[in-house]
């Protein structure tokens, strides 16, 4: 079973590997906030039934990209756009390894403000229901009756 924190860890590892000088925050207003940095946020999760034991899950995250700001608290828009594009390219291969699984991922530019840029991530995968197989009793016997029509 894939957990949200496992996906967050995989995203964090990709960011840290590509941008070792950047901080990665998971809390919105961290103490001693530093730039350049990223804010990694879990947004929501949806789930659709597939069968008795399986579900299709979609998990959404946003990465906020922060660069240095001037005295008016405005970042260089070209620098922000380059950083945003670099983060999107981290997920261009279409999957992220989470544990022993490769989970399908879509990334897109979520927008840009004066001091930050956003990257939206969407993960799609099929997972088992929690303890669903333990609750299904095994079939004990089958009785059939065959008739031939004349």
Could you give the C-alpha distances from 22 to 35, 38, 74, 91, in angstroms and in order?
7, 7, 18, 18
Contact 83, 66 (CB under 8 A): no
- Rama region for 72: left / alpha / beta (φ>0; ψ in -120 to 50; rest): alpha
Q: Is residue 62 part of a domain?
A: yes
Q: Is residue 73 part of a domain?
A: yes
Q: Domain of 99?
A: 4-135
Q: Is residue 31 part of a domain?
A: yes
Radius of gyration of the chain (CA): 23
Span 97-140, pLDDT tens digits: 998 999 999 888 889 999 999 999 999 999 988 755 555 566 77
Contact 76, 67 (CB under 8 A): yes
Q: Is residue 98 part of a domain?
A: yes
Output the DSSP codes for 71-93.
TTS-B-HHHHHHHHHHHHHHTTT
Domain of residue 91, CATH code: 3.30.2000.10
Contact 66, 53 (CB under 8 A): no
Span 65-108, pLDDT tens digits: 999 999 998 999 999 999 999 999 999 999 999 989 999 998 88
Q: Is residue 140 part of a domain?
A: no
Q: Is residue 143 part of a domain?
A: no
Structural domain count, the chain: 1
Q: Is residue 145 part of a domain?
A: no
Q: Look up the pTM and report it.
A: 0.82
């Amino acid at each position: 079973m894939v957990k949200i924190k496992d996906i967050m860890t995989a995203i964090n590892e990709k960011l840290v590997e590509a941008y070792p000088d950047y901080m990665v925050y998971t809390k919105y207003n961290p103490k001693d906030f530093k730039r350049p940095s990223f804010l990694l946020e879990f947004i929501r999760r949806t789930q659709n039934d597939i069968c008795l034991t399986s579900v299709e899950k979609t998990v959404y995250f946003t990465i906020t990209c922060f660069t240095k700001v001037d005295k008016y608290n405005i970042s260089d828009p070209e620098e922000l756009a380059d950083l945003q594009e670099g983060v999107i390219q981290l997920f261009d291969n279409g999957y992220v390894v989470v544990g022993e699984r490769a989970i399908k991922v879509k990334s897109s530019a979520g927008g840009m403000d004066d001091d930050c840029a956003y990257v939206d991530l969407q993960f799609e995968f099929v997972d088992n229901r929690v303890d669903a197989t333990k609750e299904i009793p095994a079939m004990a016997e089958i009785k059939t009756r065959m008739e031939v029509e004349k």
